[in-house]
Structure 1
Amino acid sequence: ITITYTVHPPIESVCPDQLPNSRTIEVPISASKDGGNSYYSVLQEALEKARNEIGADLTIWRDAVGKSEMSKEAKKSKKDEDDGEEEE
């Protein structure tokens, strides 16, 4: 199984140093001679491993981008509150 992804975070967000914007994950599937259920068990394990790797990577991105987005929202909300006080 080969999965390639590229993350396009907002320009102003802080990118995590330990994670590149693109990554290719390769998870080998060992061929089973008896086929059937054994093959599907190996396939399921490989898919789960790939999914977990992507999930771990994207969690780091979500946390990094989410923190910068939350700070933007907090600043915007405070500005909106200040504007509201002037109108009264």
Structure 2
Amino acid sequence: MSRSIIVEYTINPPPSTEQTYGLLPSKKHDFEIKGSPAESGQSEHYKSLRESIAQARQQIGEELTAWRDAVGKAELNKEATKPNADDEEEEEEDGDA
């Protein structure tokens, strides 16, 4: 029997983010743990386990960073198109003086 680390996630980003950046909001990964304590001994098994965990962290980290960047860019673009209410108040105050 093969052992593995399974990581599955679903993200609910703003709707425009998925279309613009082509990222998949739901993914499942299966990271195999080679060998078993009975077959290769405990130290080799734990070495393989650490390698699988490192691979999972790397892969998921890259994907979530891409999502963070995509959502952040989408939010920045959305904020740039909105007029700032504080700017309007400052202009009114300057005109009264």
* TM-score normalised over the length of structure 1: 0.80
Instruction: State the distance in 2 between where 1:77 and 1:38 align.
Output: 60
Instruction: State the distance in 2 between where 1:34 and 1:14 align.
Output: 46
- Per-residue deviation, residues 25-61 of structure 1 (Å, max 9, x unmatched): 0111111423211111100100111111111111111
Question: Which residue of structure 2 aligns with residue 39 of structure 1?
Answer: 45
- State the percentage of identical aligned residues: 42
Task: Answer 1 or 2: higher relative contact order, Cα 8 Å, separation at least 6.
Answer: 1
Instruction: State the distance in 2 between where 1:55 and 1:22 align.
Output: 14
Code of the residue aligned with 2:70 in structure 1: it is A
Q: Which structure has more strand as a fraction of its residues?
A: 2
78-87 or 64-73, which deviates more = 78-87
Question: Which residue of structure 2 aligns with residue 56 of structure 1?
Answer: 62
Instruction: Give the match's secondary structure for 1:8.
Output: coil
Q: Cα 1:76–1:87, aligned 2, differ >3 Å: closer, same or farther?
A: farther
Instruction: State the distance in 2 between where 1:51 and 1:86 align.
Output: 52
Residue 75 of structure 1, CA deviation: 4.6
Question: Which residue of structure 2 aligns with residue 29 of structure 1?
Answer: 33
Instruction: Give the match's secondary structure for 1:43.
Output: helix
Q: Could you say which structure has the larger radius of gyration?
A: 2
Root-mean-square deviation (Å): 2.0
Q: Cα 1:83–1:75, aligned 2, differ >3 Å: closer, same or farther?
A: farther
- Count of matched residue positions in the alignment of Structure 1 and Structure 2: 86
Code of the residue aligned with 1:22 in structure 2: it is S
